[in-house]
Structure 1
Amino acid sequence: MRPSRAPALGDQLAGALRDQIVRRTLGHGTHLVEDLLAEQYDVSRGPVRDALRQLESQGLVESRRRGYFVVGLSQRDIDDLYELRESIELTATLRAIENVTPDLLAQGREIVREMTACADRSAAADFADADMRFHALLYRMSGNRRLVDVWKAYEPLLASLMQLTVEEDVDLHPSANDHGRLLDLIDEGDVEQVRAELREHLDGARARMATAVQALIDDGAKEGEP
């Protein structure tokens, strides 16, 4: 297996800024100045522009005449994001029933074992990473590259949010078990059970995410943020 390449500088910077926006370290209305960001992160202005364009495409910042400003995430944004995710992920998972291969199932089971091991040692960040890889695999199982493209567009934002929510979980084993059950249902080809399991899974994820984001909003309100 070839070693994975390090993310481009623009992707790395986008990730760092995205996490700060999600966690409201960079609050609504913050002016993101290209020169200052380039100096702070010791990069040229090219990667800064790439990062800001990525964040704009994800709705986290907006471009004005004076540059880019943080928009952030509201509860409506979380609802919209999960409405989109449920639509595309349900389609992908149902397509996976028709197209899954033994090799892809084996990859899924390996990820679930990894998630369980992360839960055993309470490694929330590693668990979140494995969780995202599991869902990316569902899209690959679908055999629909357009669905994969849509997932990739929002995957970085969902990954930042996932890191936030798993930190609140005391026990990650139930979530690992849910992923294993979903994989079993795909293998069995039970369309209605897959549909019900995935909707329950995403509803739970949406609720946990909404709670985590609301806590950050409340904390910001106490500190006088808009």
Structure 2
Amino acid sequence: MVPMLPARAPALGDQLAAVLRDLIVRRQLQPGTHLVEDALAAEYDVSRGPVRDALRQLESQGLVESRRRGFFVIGLSQDDINDLYELRESIELVAVTRAISQVSDLQMREGRDIVAEMIACADRADAAGFAAADMRFHALLYRAGGNRRLLDVWDAYEPVFASLMQLTVEEDVDLHPSAHDHGQLLDLIEEGDADKLRAEMSDHLDGARARMGRAVHALIQDESGEVAS
């Protein structure tokens, strides 16, 4: 038997990017904020190399931009949420449709296990665990679809969706309906009805888009001192 390699901890740049990404999505780092490399390195006790790596990642995800004096926070607007979900729907509908003919028995079992994990997280109101399982479920759909180019696009933007997901599941009183929706997607893959599956996935993503849009809208209103409607 080939020995298993130990799990490798995420690189410091990846870890710092995750921290900054959550702060940006939650608008704790405001749009327009100047991200100074030396200051970030001192605050997080890392060298400037991981800071540069983190800022480049965030730039590729559209959360910061490079200007003459360094990197500045862009943040996420309502239009950004719509753009992200328009992209996601366009690729995920293809992936899930391909999964009807491509998915393996092992992947179906993995999907059922993830849904069971989501239900268990809902039972104990574990929002963080639920969000992580939700992301793994959708990554599985891309793998099951068998198009690695689609998976590459998902991998590029998954960290942003993960931060948004964490923000919205914290607001959900009951996570069980969402968990069962994911189980329904697996049922439709097994049934092989592509039209019904695409319609269900579109509804699923539209619901996620609406919840995330409301969450970001509330954060923006809180900044301006307005009362969220």
Instruction: Classify the TM-score, shorter chain.
Output: over 0.9
Matched, 1:109 2:109: no
Query: Could you tell me which residue of structure 1 aligns to residue 175 of structure 2?
Result: 172
Give the counterpart of 1:148 among 148, 151, 170.
151
Determine the C-alpha separation between the residues in 1 that align with 2:206 and 2:5: 37
Please give the TM-score of this superposition, normalised by the length of structure 1. Answer: 0.97
Q: Secondary structure at the match of 1:27?
A: coil
Matched, 1:215 2:221: no
Determine the C-alpha separation between the residues in 1 that align with 2:84 and 2:173: 25
Quote the offset at 1:2 in angstroms. Answer: 4.8
> 1:90 is matched by which residue type in structure 2?
L
Quote the offset at 1:6 in angstroms. Answer: 1.2
> 1:143 is matched by which residue type in structure 2?
G
Query: Could you tell me which residue of structure 2 aligns to residue 119 of structure 1?
Result: 122
Give the counterpart of 1:58 among 54, 58, 61.
61
Query: Could you tell me which residue of structure 2 aligns to residue 205 of structure 1?
Result: 208
Matched residue count: 223
Percent identical across equivalent pairs?
74
Q: Secondary structure at the match of 1:68?
A: strand
Q: Which ranges of structure 1 fall in alignment gaps of 5 or more residues?
A: none
Query: Could you tell me which residue of structure 1 aligns to residue 9 of structure 2?
Result: 6
Matched, 1:182 2:181: no
Quote the offset at 1:4 in angstroms. Answer: 2.8
Quote the offset at 1:187 in angstroms. Answer: 1.1
Give the counterpart of 2:93 among 76, 90, 93.
90
Q: Which ranges of structure 2 fall in alignment gaps of 5 or more residues?
A: none
Determine the C-alpha separation between the residues in 2 that align with 1:4 and 1:19: 24
Matched, 1:43 2:46: yes
Determine the C-alpha separation between the residues in 1 that align with 2:7 and 2:91: 27
Q: Secondary structure at the match of 2:171?
A: coil
Quote the offset at 1:45 in angstroms. Answer: 0.4
Please give the TM-score of this superposition, normalised by the length of structure 2. Answer: 0.96
Quote the offset at 1:190 in angstroms. Answer: 1.0
Over 3 Å counting, the alpha-carbon distance change for 1:112 and 1:2 in structure 2 is farther
Determine the C-alpha separation between the residues in 2 that align with 1:5 and 1:168: 32
Determine the C-alpha separation between the residues in 2 that align with 1:209 and 1:2: 38
Determine the C-alpha separation between the residues in 2 that align with 1:2 and 1:108: 25
Query: Could you tell me which residue of structure 2 aligns to residue 99 of structure 1?
Result: 102
Give the counterpart of 2:72 among 59, 64, 69.
69
Residues 24-43 of structure 1 aligned to structure 2 (within 5 Å): 24-43=27-46
Quote the offset at 1:193 in angstroms. Answer: 1.1
Determine the C-alpha separation between the residues in 1 that align with 2:119 and 2:6: 25
Quote the offset at 1:3 in angstroms. Answer: 4.4
Query: Could you tell me which residue of structure 1 aligns to residue 161 of structure 2?
Result: 158
Q: What is the CA RMSD across the aligned residues, in angstroms?
A: 1.0
Determine the C-alpha separation between the residues in 2 that align with 1:131 and 1:123: 12
